[in-house]
């Protein structure tokens, strides 16, 4: 068994298929996305929210006694912020201002609830300060937050500088179901 920082399905699958290990533990990956096993079974691996290795989960245990996840606000707050959200009783058109981590998460949740979302971002790309942080080789995995929560089918992005929809292709693991 191996359980040290195997954060994605591809790595786990490779290690098992290559005969390097018989069993893999993916604790942090499951904290980032508790539905990871179900998404594998349902062939929805592109919708898995990846662990980005920020170690907020481990640090939180020592500083506050609770394990939180930088990529999944519901982790450690399950009673207040459920992992699954119900559909809105009356879908609406919603604007989210700011394409940083909070704006992306708000747009993702609103999209999952069935709203039509337009995300406004002043900069040339989504991610806010994460874009800068991910330029460090030590923190490049943070880009996974932006890649994962970037435009889903249910919402569009508009840069306020150019007032035109973003056309950059991005992987979306936050598509509306």
**In the predicted model, is pLDDT for residue 155 greater than 60?**
no
- Kindly report, residue by residue over 36-75, the tens digit of the pLDDT: 999 999 999 888 998 988 888 889 889 988 899 988 999 9
- Band the pLDDT of 175: cuts 50, 70, 90: very low
C-alpha angle 77/83/88, rounded to 5°? 120
In contact, 67 and 27? CB cutoff 8 Å: no
- Sequence ranges of the domains in the chain: 1-84, 85-177
Share of the chain above pLDDT 70, in %: 84
Cα(8)–Cα(15) distance, rounded to whole angstroms? 11
What CATH number labels 85-177?
Answer: 3.40.50.720
**Region 84-104: what's the mean pLDDT?**
92
Cα(80)–Cα(64) distance, rounded to whole angstroms? 17
Q: 10-24, 110-124, 147-161 — which is least confidently predicted?
A: 147-161
The per-residue DSSP string of 23-40 comes to: -B--HHHHHH-TTHHHHH
Q: What tokens were used for 92?
A: 């609406």
What's residue 163's pLDDT? 34
């Amino acid at each position: 068994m191996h359980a040290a920082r195997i954060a994605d399905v591809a790595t786990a699958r490779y290690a098992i298929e290559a005969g390097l290990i018989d069993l893999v533990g993916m604790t942090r990956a499951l904290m980032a996305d508790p539905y990871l096993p179900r998404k594998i079974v349902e062939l929805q691996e592109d919708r898995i929210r990846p662990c980005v290795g920020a170690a907020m989960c481990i640090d939180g245990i020592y500083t506050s006694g609770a394990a939180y996840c930088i990529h999944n606000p519901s982790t450690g707050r399950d009673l207040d912020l459920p992992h699954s959200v119900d559909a809105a009783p009356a879908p609406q058109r919603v604007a989210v201002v700011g394409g940083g981590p909070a704006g992306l998460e708000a747009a993702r949740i609103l999209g999952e609830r069935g709203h039509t979302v337009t995300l406004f971002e002043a900069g040339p790309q989504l991610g806010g300060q994460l874009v800068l942080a991910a330029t460090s080789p030590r923190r490049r995995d943070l880009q996974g937050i932006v890649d994962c929560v970037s435009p889903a089918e249910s919402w569009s992005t508009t840069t306020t500088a150019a007032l035109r929809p973003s056309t950059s292709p991005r992987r979306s693991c936050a598509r509306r179901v």
